[in-house]
Amino acid sequence: TVGQIIGTLNVTGQPNYRIRYHQLAGNLYAQTLTDITKETELVRQVTLQSKETQAQNIILKRKRETLEDEHAFLISIFNAIQSGILILDSAEDLQVTITNKAMQNFLNDGEDSLLKKKCFQLFGYQRRCPGCPITNINAQTNFSRMRYHQKFKEFTLTEYYTKLAGNKILLTFEDSTRR
């Protein structure tokens, strides 16, 4: 058939050629050889890169699964702690970014409604709590006691606060009413 590729030929061991036969007139035929060495090498390289990419994706998938497992484990520990925990974005803004189950239970509120609020709003204030201990926070753990009113009950909370990396603040609360 005219122009049909009937195969490839490796003539000298290095270059690869594509052979085509062309019918010229009557019983006359012409044979053309085209060097496809570059194309063959390109296909080999693309195939190799594809395999490398697949292997890297498998490794990344395994790493992601490991990180997800570790994250779930740490969250379960975080939520198993009996003290209430709040993480604030900064000492200036006081916005809640993370809270644990004990704090949610103490405040009788879900995580979604606690996040993005200011810490003082959780305790019924419109501005910083009077004598806010976070105002003069340093790198050490400090503590203070505060009274908190919730649905006709009064609690005394012992609050521990620590400055974390990234200017974040860790607050832990314990009900010290009976102490």
**pLDDT (0 to 100) of residue 136:** 67
**pLDDT (0 to 100) of residue 73:** 98
| Cβ atoms 137, 169 nearer than 8 A | yes
Of 80-84, 114-118, 146-150, which range is least confident? Answer: 146-150
* pLDDT above 60 (res 45): yes
Q: For 74, phi and psi rounded to 5 degrees? A: -65, -40
In a 10 Å sphere around its CB, with 0-12 CB exposed, 13-18 middle and 19+ buried, how is residue 90 labelled?
middle
Q: How far apart are the first and last CA of the chain?
A: 99
* pLDDT above 60 (res 5): no
Cα 25 to chain centroid, rounded: 69
Write down the pTM of the prediction.
0.64
| Cβ atoms 174, 157 nearer than 8 A | yes
Kindly report, residue by residue over 117-137, the tens digit of the pLDDT: 998 888 778 888 777 777 766
Give the other-Cβ count within 10 Å of 152's Cβ.
Answer: 5
Q: How far apart are CA 119 and CA 12, in angstroms?
A: 79
pLDDT averaged over every residue in the chain: 81
* pLDDT above 90 (res 77): yes
